[in-house]
Amino acid sequence: MTDFSAEHARGHDYGDFLGHHASDEDRERWQRIYDRVTLTESHQAVLASFVREMKVLVLAGAWCGDCVNQCPIFERFSQESPVISVRYLDRDANPELTECLSVNGGHRVPVAVFLSEDDFPCGIFGDRTLAKYRAMAADIDSSLVTLAGNDGRTLLEQATEEWLNEFERMQWMMRTSGRLRELHGD
């Protein structure tokens, strides 16, 4: 079984990951999206409410368009909440981990592995958000466009909301865990 805690420990922070694995062009693409990620007051309040340390291991590729469009969101979350520790590993440099985290039979990225403060796996989420899949389905068949739920928000805004929901779900899982509540006396 994969030791996700050990993988998290050897992972890179956001800047180091890009420094080691991204070309200048890749870094520019990631920066453009990072600059566009906006956290609303509601998002900030949710992130400020987190009390349990959350380790997040992200398998990614600096060249990957889906990573470009999602990983900067994680960086914004970790900047907003001191209990979130996000670490990145490159898909191509980690074939065993890549195989372990395959999605729908493929080596897709990004894939996020959520760990509790004491290193128990809590969940795995990836590779694309529901909003992205809806948009892709609408591109395949225009009759599916109503499924896209066009509420006026950009795909980036929708992805930010969806990822925040996943981070919040993991936080509530940890916050309500009997084991962790006993450990913290709350």
pLDDT score for 151: 76
pLDDT score for 141: 84
Domains of the chain and any CATH numbers: 4-127+154-184 (3.40.30.10)
pLDDT score for 147: 53
What does the pLDDT profile of the chain (186 residues) look like in tens digits?
899 999 999 999 999 999 999 999 999 999 999 999 999 999 999 999 999 999 999 999 999 999 999 999 999 999 999 999 999 999 999 999 999 999 999 999 999 999 999 999 999 999 998 888 888 888 888 776 655 556 788 999 999 999 999 999 999 999 999 999 999 999
Q: What's this model's pTM, rounded to 2 decimal places?
A: 0.94
Contacts made by residues 129-138, CB under 8 angstroms, sequence distance 24+: 129/70, 129/158, 129/159, 129/162, 129/163, 130/162, 131/155, 131/158, 131/159, 131/162, 132/66, 132/69, 132/159
**Dist. CA 51–CA 145, nearest whole Å:** 39
pLDDT score for 95: 96
pLDDT score for 142: 73
pLDDT score for 139: 84
pLDDT score for 133: 86
105: left (phi over 0), alpha (psi -120 to 50) or beta: left
Nearest to 42 by CA among 154, 168, 149, 126: 168
pLDDT score for 150: 62
